[in-house]
Chain A
């Protein structure tokens, strides 16, 4: 009878199409919006991921990675003095103004890497060599800088020069890194040169990056460093998590995306529930005939559930597939942000199962109440 149930469903093309479209749209909306939300959350942690150090030391008042409270240079030495620290280096991070050849300005995320070790260097160089950062006035720019400068009519290549706070910067490399939350290009240089580019101030140290000796975990080391007065240390994943939660708690981003996801659920329930109800309602006299002919309730329930979950499965597949296709397209352009962890399709699958169960239950209640004798009326 399950084959009969599927034939009844697939051959009622109008309702089948409406059911699949409704569930596909609902899945697409939920999956795409959730993935864009996750993408934005990922953007908030791009600095942490780009630099990649195991332990990050910040001022005790810092709540998240994009918030820099400058520290004294001596903090690097204090961190190095903690037992279990294998290495500790300074990192400069600040938003500066770059002036282009045509006189226009562009805010940039200036990142100063430890001059000796270049710890936190970009993982993927698309042109030039990171070691050339040690050359005079050398900087490495990311793909966003190339794109943003191109829009202003300036083609960035090795050797191109521009100014940061009136000081010359010469491009010695182009890298590909995770895009920053606010969309400013990352400009990498050495720590010492970053301090030269930055506006002078009493404290300029943004972060101390540290690594543990063998046998000490990142978290243990972070706990030890946090014992130092005025400092807070976090393992990379903890800082990333805290940063994301900070944005969840302190911005309207989750509410905005949550509303759209909720809308997707409501639309899914409304369209799928109503259409499935109509589908069952239209087939009620035939289901009654089947009941009269000896179809037992478990058989009919199986038919209804199979019909509901078939459209759910197909609609879910189409919706998630379209969301993935959308993701592939936008990932190539790097915006809007898009990140689809397995939890997103799993969440959408759970919601789809809920919608299908609800729709099937509405249909099943009607079927259960159906008296087979109704076929004689």
Chain B
């Protein structure tokens, strides 16, 4: 197995804006390794989230190379990418995106069900993951009955339930207070990070930079630097 879990090279992505086009990515190049937590940081509008969307295959780029777990995503068909995402990618969203009418365990079981696990078995396995992330006593609570931190734990459990190899986190601490944000990252690092797994976090919350193994800095649609020592980046 390659040491690289994911690599992007010269990725270009633009969006139509009236008669003109706005370029969100202008040749971004970076990679992520197995067993690491990579943070993509940068100012608002620099293309972090667009790059994240391209990496996980929810957006198609126009140019460049994109390889995830030795799969060339650009050459794959839409259905194949969806299947690939279903099997290999776990998502943690800024707004959690927990379905309000489903309980914690039902929310966490969704990726398993999408992967063909029968619902009862999926709920049992999701319940185990929820217990691992520390909310085993809230299995049957609805999102509205949970605090922000607890909701984010459910989201983490949902991202981990089907044991994906790539965890995508979009601003995971943006909706949380500082202490809860720290705990969430601690949990993410302890639960999600494994030798055969890669975690990519998009954030501009500098209070959590020290959790990263490496930091990719972006500006104006390009990756302007890769920092092997997050502490040194903190002092930049």
- A-side residues, CB < 8 A to B, are 1, 3-4, 7-8, 11-12, 283, 285-286, 289-296, 299, 371-373, 375-377
Q: Is B91 an interface residue (CB 8 A)?
A: yes
Q: List, sorted by A's number, 12 A–B pairs whose CB atoms are closer than 8 Å.
A: A1-B110, A4-B110, A7-B102, A11-B101, A294-B89, A295-B82, A373-B58, A375-B58, A375-B97, A375-B170, A376-B170, A377-B49
Which residues does chain B contribute within 8 Å of A7, judged by CB atoms?
Answer: 101-102, 106
- Which chain B residues lie closer than 8 Å to A295 at the CB level? 82, 86, 114
A376 touches B53 (CB 8 A): yes
The 3 A-B residue pairs with the shortest CB-CB distance, nearest first, are: A294-B86, A11-B101, A289-B97
A1-B113, A373-B53, A375-B97 in contact; A292/B91 too (CB < 8 A)? yes
Contact A296 B52 (CB under 8 A): no
Q: Which of B82, B87, B95 has the most CB of A within 10 A?
A: B82
When distances are taken between beta carbons in the complex, the residues of chain B under 8 Å from A299 are: 114
Complex: how many Å from CA A292 to CA B59?
A: 10
Q: Does B178 contact A (CB under 8 A)?
A: no
Contact A293 B85 (CB under 8 A): yes
A376 to B91, CA, bound (A): 10
Contact B58 A292 (CB under 8 A): yes
Contacts of A296 in B (CB 8 A): 79, 82-83
Task: Report whether B56 and A292 are in contact in the complex, using a CB–CB cutoff of 8 Å.
Answer: yes
When chains A and B are docked, how far (Å) is the Cα of A290 from the Cα of B86? 10
> In the complex, how many residue pairs between chain A and chain B have their CB atoms under 8 Å apart?
78
Q: Which residues of chain A are near B102, meaning CB under 8 Å? A: 4, 7-8, 11
Q: Which residues of A contact B82 (CB under 8 A)?
A: 291, 294-296
Which of A4, A293, A295, A373 gathers most chain B CB within 10 Å? Answer: A293
Q: Interface SS of chain B: helix, strand, loop or mixed?
A: helix
Most A CB contacts (10 A, CB to CB) among B52, B56, B79, B114 go to B114
Residues of chain B within 8 A of A371, CB atoms compared = 58-59
For residue B93, CB closer than 8 A to chain A, the reply is yes
Residues of A contacting B59 with CB < 8 Å? 371, 373
- Name the distance in Å between B124's Cβ and chain A's nearest Cβ: 15
Write out the residue numbers on chain B whose beta carbons fall within 8 Å of the beta carbon of A372: 58
Q: How far is the CA of A47 from the CA of B231 in the complex (A)?
A: 99
Please, what's the 1-or-0 string for B91-118, where 1 marks a CB less than 8 Å from any CB in chain A? Answer: 1011101010110001000110111000
Given A289-B97, A375-B97, answer yes or no on A4-B113 (Cβ-Cβ < 8 Å): yes
B89 touches A4 (CB 8 A): no
Q: How far is the CB of B202 from chain A (nearest CB, A)?
A: 8
Is there an interface contact between B111 and A293, defined as CB atoms closer than 8 Å?
Answer: yes
Write out the residue numbers on chain A whose beta carbons fall within 8 Å of the beta carbon of B93: 289, 375-376
Pairwise interchain contact A293-B99, C-beta atoms closer than 8 A: no
Expressed in whole angstroms, the Cα–Cα distance for A286 and B58 within the complex equals 15
B58, B94, B95, B101: the one within 8 Å of A12 (CB): B101
- How long is the Cα–Cα vector from A375 to B93 in the complex, in angstroms? 7
**Bound Cα distance from A289 to B86, whole angstroms:** 12
Complex contacts, B141 vs chain A, CB 8 Å: none
Is B119 located at the chain interface by the 8 A CB criterion?
A: yes
Contact A286-B99, Cβ < 8 Å, known A7-B106, A293-B111, A376-B93: yes
